[in-house]
Amino acid sequence: MTPEAAHSHTVPEIMTLAEAAAYLRLSKSTLYQRKDIPRHRIPGSREVRFLRDELLSWLKSGEMAVQSSGLDVLTLPLDRTAGTVYHRNPRYR
């Protein structure tokens, strides 16, 4: 069994926000704010789900991995094209 095949059995195909955050080693708020991370909203709900294959494709696209001074550093540029950050209270939207 290849390491990728063994890894795919331990990680669910469809992940919740918390599972995807742990899988990507990012905070839950980062997943909400980064609009370039593939996600699917459950119809009639505010909940989102993440597909493992889409997250792997996103990672492999190289959008976040950057080499800096010989160290692997993950940089998370802010998506300034999205406008404001979602806030539950409409007063702050």
Domain ranges (residues) in the chain: 3-92
Rounded to 5 degrees, φ, ψ at 54 are -70, -40
> What is the structure's pLDDT at 66?
41
Nearest in space to 37 (alpha carbons), one of 49, 19, 22, 55: 55
> What is the structure's pLDDT at 2?
54
Nearest in space to 83 (alpha carbons), one of 26, 33, 46: 33
87 SS3 class: coil
83-89's contacts with Cβ under 8 Å and 24+ in sequence apart are: 85/33, 86/32, 86/33
> What is the structure's pLDDT at 5?
55
> What is the structure's pLDDT at 61?
87
Percent of the chain past pLDDT 70, that is, above it, reads 62
Q: Which regions of the chain are under pLDDT 50?
A: 1, 65-73, 75-76
